[in-house]
Amino acid sequence: MRLQQGSIVWVTVIDQAGRNPKCRPAVVLTPTNEIEPGESVLVAAATSTFPSPLPTNHVELPWHRSGHPVTGLNRRCAVVCDWIQEVRQSAIVKIGGIVPTAQLAAILAQIPADPDDSTDAK
* Residue 114 backbone phi and psi in degrees, to 5: -120, 95
CATH C-level class of 7-117: mainly beta
Distance CA 86, CA 66 (A): 30
Q: What is the mean pLDDT of residues 87-96?
A: 95
> In the predicted model, is pLDDT for residue 121 greater than 70?
no
Top pLDDT among 2 and 68 is at 68
Is the pTM for the entire model greater than 0.85? Answer: yes
For the chain, domain boundaries = 7-117
The 8-class DSSP code of residue 54 comes to P
> In the predicted model, is pLDDT for residue 120 greater than 50?
no
Q: What is the mean pLDDT of residues 68-72?
A: 95
Question: What radius of gyration, in Å, describes the C-alpha atoms of the chain?
Answer: 13
* Residue 69 backbone phi and psi in degrees, to 5: -65, -20
What per-residue confidence (pLDDT) applies to 112?
73
Q: What is the mean pLDDT of residues 46-61?
A: 93
